[in-house]
Structure 1
């Protein structure tokens, strides 16, 4: 019995939709915080550092989370910048320095004081912009005392904003991997956090026409996934990304999916 493409994707989802599978993923840090306001602070830090080798990502996030005590929101609102600088002195994650993390946290502190939460900031951006990620990124960059492009890229330069969209995914979707918590957005409106594995997947299948992994490429891939799951286009993101990391020969996986995709036209025809 042959599988359809949707059945194959659902099979992958069933396999990877497991909290244990997330243990070696930045999202796992969010599961330790039941309070949504604490979770969103941990989430923005974890997502911003989600690049490079997984083992190093986990170590770097652990170092930042460790200084924020049991209640990251209260901690962030009460501690001075000098304290954060002292605690993160010598911190380095690839080209990200401790001062970059401090600037991001300071920007979050300013925006939380202004809007009440990062979720409320998102809601404000959603009401004003067609793509809330753009306004959210601009707000963080403007509130930061220093340039934080290494953590929050300029959306005006057609960046896919992969890490910011990863953060939104964690905070909006809810299953065994993504903890969710935000109620001002629905999974249907999320955009794929376009990493190298998802870029390769979409490009090989012809679902991405763009020549580079930019913001428009992320939209193209999201639109393709909406055909399979319009209410939750990012449903298969974790499974496919981790399959790409784990597969000894990802090309074999893509080849198999290509065969299945011939029965499903991503321009909307079966």
Structure 2
């Protein structure tokens, strides 16, 4: 990576990692709560619904919070979600059914029965594994395969879970909360990978297109490779590059900030 590109990426991240970023982003929801239990839970739900049009993502999270009332944690722990999410294969949001949302909440309810917070629960799981099992995989193990909201593929980029981890682990940020910064290093984070990130990364030369000119597949290997590239501009904090790539898209591809 050239020094010029490093400077450009850092400048973009400085611009877009700001409080104004929250206005139209699902990260906004966790900032509403003073109770870490509620903040973690809404972050988990919002991150796992984070694909498609932002306005629709925000609408569906708002619908859940309206049903939950003052405490999302109490609503989930008490099974209140069962009224909102019946055992139905009908669509709640895009490809996610009401049944899949219920299974997601079932998994969260089990965790709350075992531990005060999501962070406490996964800190113990990660410690018990000796750090040998990726945190994304440990999270996925808590939900059955029928819960299609959670990515269970070992080689998948798992974009939405990596987005959740960015929110939980990166500290000293006006966007990310850093609740888990004390036990998990942001150096280990991978960039949440989607088509837009792939497009911008290919335009910058951070990722190579295939021989046929296609974008690389959104796989775990691609996420690892891109995160390693971004670590050159953001040492010890590669996921900060997510803001730079977002900014590059807003700035119109090749335009300078």
- TM-score, structure 1 as length reference: 0.81
Matched, 1:213 2:211: no
Task: Give the 3 Å change call, closer, same or farther, for CA 239–28 of structure 1 in structure 2.
Answer: farther
Aligned 8 A contact 2:156 2:219 in 1: yes
Q: Identify if the C-alpha distance between structure 1 residues 180 and 91 changes in structure 2 by more than 3 Å, giving closer, same or farther.
A: farther
Give the structure 1 partner of residue 213 of structure 2: none
2:163 is aligned to: 166
Alignment partner of 1:124 is 2:134: no
| Separation in 2, partners of 1:79, 1:89 | 19
CA contact (8 A) 1:125 1:136 kept: no
Distance 2:63 2:16 in 1: 27
* Separation in structure 1 between the aligned mates of residue 64 and residue 174 of structure 2, nearest angstrom: 24
Change (3 A) 1:208 1:141: farther
- Cα deviation for residue 89 of structure 1 reads 10
SS at 1:92 equivalent: strand
Give the Å deviation of 1:12: 1.0
2:168–2:179 Cα contact (<8 Å) kept: yes
TM-score by length of 2: 0.85
Give runs of ≥4 in structure 1 deviating > 6 Å: 88-91
Shift of the alpha carbon at 1:117?
Answer: 2.5
On the 8 A contact 2:10/2:244 being kept in 1, the answer is no
- Count the aligned residue pairs: 243
- Paired with 2:246 and 2:107, the residues of 1 have a C-alpha distance of 30
For the pair 1:57 / 2:54, whether they are aligned, the reply is no
TM-superposed deviation, 1:90: 7.2
**Aligned CA distance change for structure 1 residues 107 and 242 (closer, same or farther; 3 Å):** farther
Which stretch has the larger CA shift, 101-110 or 114-123?
114-123
Gaps of 5+ in 1: 258-270
Q: 5+ unaligned residues in a row in structure 2: which ranges?
A: 211-215
CA RMSD of aligned residues (A): 2.5
